[in-house]
Amino acid sequence: MSKSRAKAQSLAADAPSGGGPEIVRSATALLEPAPESGVAIHDLKPYPAYKDSGVPWLGAVPVGWEVRRGKTLFSESCLPVQEAAEIVTCFRDGQVTLRRNRRASGFMIALKEAGYQGVRKGQLVIHAMDAFAGAVGVSDSEGKCTPEYIVCNPRRPDVTPGYFAYALRVAAQVKFIEVECQAVRERAPRLRWPDFGELKLSAPPLVEQAAIVRYLDHADRHIRRYISAKKKLIALLNEQKQAIIHRAVTRGLDPDVRLKPSGVEWLGEVPAHWEVKRCRYLFREVDCRSPDGSEQHLSMSQRLGLVPSHLVENRTLVSESYAGGKLCEVGDLVLNRLKAHLGVFATAEHDGVISPDYTVFRPIEPVGSVFFERILRSPACRRELRIRAKGIVEGFWRLYTDDFYDIRLPVPPLEERLAIGKHIDLALREIDGAGGRTEREIILLHEYRTRLIADVVTGKLDVREAAARLPEEAEEPEPLNEVEAGDGEDEDGEGAGGDEAGEEEVA
């Protein structure tokens, strides 16, 4: 049994009920070619014989494969920039394409394009600062790129750039690049040309490189389509959630209630018996500090809210000490001042200590913060927050307390507020369940794809026959939209900026 097939069965066994096993079976079916080809994923077998590669991350490789250093396979390109050339960007998912093909904003813009180099379609491109994270691929476009990229030409006729792009991303996944290259350092990761030149990579015969690329491109294309469909479903579920929340917090639960103008442009009409108040009459800022930081540490996550720090993965900003941090209590409304215009508000469900850069508002009435949090997080109110946030550079806009106090919100009677909260919780339960199952399915597909690529690139599975029987498909990659693309990287390797709030925002 192949390792990829075993991986699929393992994922199916470990998957939670409600879709996990089905998604692995679906992934397997998607990768199988047409029935008339007679080839299926579970038909993939190991090569007849293996030898030790001498490279830890490769392990044993098929007899007939070589192990070569990067400098014997590729040479640096250093092409001049053509007039009117557009910027080509290398993303962590391996796509190398014109920047505008992914999105129009969210990148760091160079004030002066010093040292830029030309890029041609079909060249191997390595993001020097993000290679350790998999930012390696073959360019699908003509253009120009930052000097932080390594642009490579095959040095030999038996080199297929697509195969070595896959191989380098596998090396990145197993941390080989990060460990072996001295230039890759914490907080300053850089894989320079000399480092790449010394990397040892598997080098199958040319015909096998082509078969591997053909097979993996086919598999990757089909899995991406399935993941894209699942992400679009999640987006639709989130839209449905927002619609339910917006109607409940602005119109209440009675569909026949008499309405009145709120006097607030973004709010529109509200039930006639509701009040509309400025936040200064609903909350008061509190600034209590921890003397030693010994309280429970809480972190802000756009997805999870304000939760104990250990529940937040991929934390990027971790304080060494919480001494002097702000204290919050259950029921407090906490906002990230730099992300408030993106709706990063949360009601504290735990007492604890948080970043001093956050603002803590305590409700004047003893209950009801969750109702107001939902309004402040709504897309309609988010536009109001953007208007009130101050700052010169996008991404560093701050919502100050006086500006927050001036925002007007609808205020139902307390009992109705609580009833609306219970209604929303009940209505969202099923949607959240469906969204959670879909997110787990996407994770399983990503894991399946990662293991399949690793097994094929390192020769653990022989795909020569399978590749030969694949149906002909368009060679041009399908453009990725915002839902499909995920997180992109700017040209300097500092990550996407703009208005896309990080999934895990921590302090």
Check whether residue 333 and residue 471 sit in a common domain: no
Distance of CA 310 to the CA centre of its chain: 20
Q: Looking only at Cα atoms, what is the longest distance across the chain?
A: 81
Measured distance CA(309)–CA(300) in Å, rounded = 8
- Say if residue 100 is in the same domain as residue 206: yes
The pTM score is 0.74
Instruction: Verify that 21 and 139 share a domain, yes or no.
Output: yes
Residue 303 is assigned to a structural domain of this protein: yes
More confident residue, 330 or 105: 330
Task: State the Cα–Cα distance between residues 424 and 384, nearest whole angstrom.
Answer: 23
What average pLDDT score do residues 177-200 get? 75
Task: Give the CA-trace dihedral at 118, 123, 124, 126, to 10 degrees.
Answer: 10
Say whether both 390 and 448 belong to one domain: no
Query: Average pLDDT, stretch 454-469?
Result: 94
Label residue 7 by pLDDT band (50, 70, 90). Answer: very low
- Pick the more confident residue, 171 or 110: 171
For residue 14, being part of any structural domain is answered with: yes
Q: What is the mean pLDDT of residues 52-57?
A: 92
Q: Could you tell me if residue 400 is inside a domain?
A: yes
**Any domain includes 480:** yes
* Mean pLDDT value of segment 302-324: 74
Q: Which domain holds residue 18?
A: 3-231+435-485
Q: Is residue 45 a part of any domain in this protein?
A: yes
Do 75 and 213 share a domain, yes or no?
yes
Provide the number of structural domains found in the chain.
2
Among 411, 444, 466, give the residue marking a domain's end: 411
Q: Give 24 or 149, the one with higher predicted confidence.
A: 149
User: Is pLDDT above 70 for 313?
Assistant: no
Q: Average model confidence (pLDDT) for the chain?
A: 82
- Compute the average pLDDT of residues 174-201: 77
Give dist(CA 167, CA 165) in Å, integer: 5
pLDDT band at 111; cut points 50, 70, 90: low
Assigned domain for 377 exists: yes
With bands split at pLDDT 50, 70 and 90, how would you rate the model's confidence at 44?
confident
Question: Beta-carbon neighbour count of residue 430 at 10 Å?
Answer: 10
* Residue 76 reports pLDDT greater than 50: yes
Same domain flag for 404 and 440: no
Q: Note whether 305 and 366 are same-domain residues.
A: yes
Give CA–CA dist 425/440, Å, rounded: 22
**pLDDT, position 312:** 77
Q: Identify the residue with better confidence: 38 or 200.
A: 200
> Is residue 247 one of the residues assigned to a domain?
no
14 band by pLDDT with thresholds 50, 70 and 90: very low
Banded model confidence at residue 190, pLDDT cuts 50, 70, 90:
confident
Q: Which residue has the higher pLDDT, 13 or 154?
A: 154
- What's the pLDDT score for residue 474? 59
Average pLDDT value for residue range 131-159 = 94
Measured CA to CA in angstroms, residue 302 lies from 138, 175, 309, 376, 424 at distances of: 34, 28, 13, 13, 19
- Mean local confidence (pLDDT), 159-177: 94
Residue-wise pLDDT tens digits, 465-503:
999 998 876 555 454 444 444 444 433 333 333 333 333
Question: What average pLDDT does this structure show over 198-220?
Answer: 95
Please indicate, yes or no, whether residues 185 and 264 belong to a single structural domain of this protein. Answer: no
DSSP state letter for 57: T
| 104 pLDDT more than 80 | no
Question: Residue 62's domain is classified under what CATH number?
Answer: 3.90.220.20
Query: Are residues 13 and 63 part of one domain?
Result: yes
**What are the tens digits of pLDDT across the range 247-294?**
999 999 999 999 999 999 999 999 999 999 999 999 999 999 999 989
Judge whether 135 and 128 are in contact, CB under 8 Å. Answer: no
- Contact between 442 and 450 under an 8 Å Cβ cutoff? The reply is no
**Token pair recorded at residue 93:** 């998912």
Buried/exposed code over 282-315 (b: 16+ C-beta within 10 A; e: otherwise): bbeeeeeebeeeebebbbbbbeebbbebeebeee
Which is higher by pLDDT, 479 or 96? 96
To which H or E segment does residue 61 belong? strand 60-62
Last residue of a domain, one of 377, 411, 445: 411
CB within 8 Å of 146: residues ≥ 6 apart: 110, 115, 116, 491, 492
Task: Give me the pLDDT at residue 328, please.
Answer: 94
- Same domain flag for 153 and 300: no
What secondary structure letter does DSSP report for 137? Answer: E
Domain membership of residue 332 (yes or no) is yes
Supply the pLDDT for residue 177: 84
pLDDT-above-90 percentage for the chain: 57
Rounded to whole angstroms, the Cα distance separating 375 from 265 reads 14
The pLDDT of residue 339 is: 80
On whether both 9 and 114 belong to a single domain, the answer is yes
Q: Which residue has the higher pLDDT, 85 or 482?
A: 85
Mean pLDDT, range 375-402, rounded to an integer: 82
Same domain, 86 and 150: yes
* CA R_g for the chain: 27
Does 10 have pLDDT greater than 60?
Answer: no
The three-class DSSP label of residue 477 is coil
The mean per-residue pLDDT over the stretch 53-80 comes to: 94
- Compare 227 and 4 and report the one with higher pLDDT: 227
The Cα–Cα gap between 377 and 31 comes to: 40
Q: For residues 395 and 381, what is the distance between their CA atoms, to the nearest angstrom?
A: 18
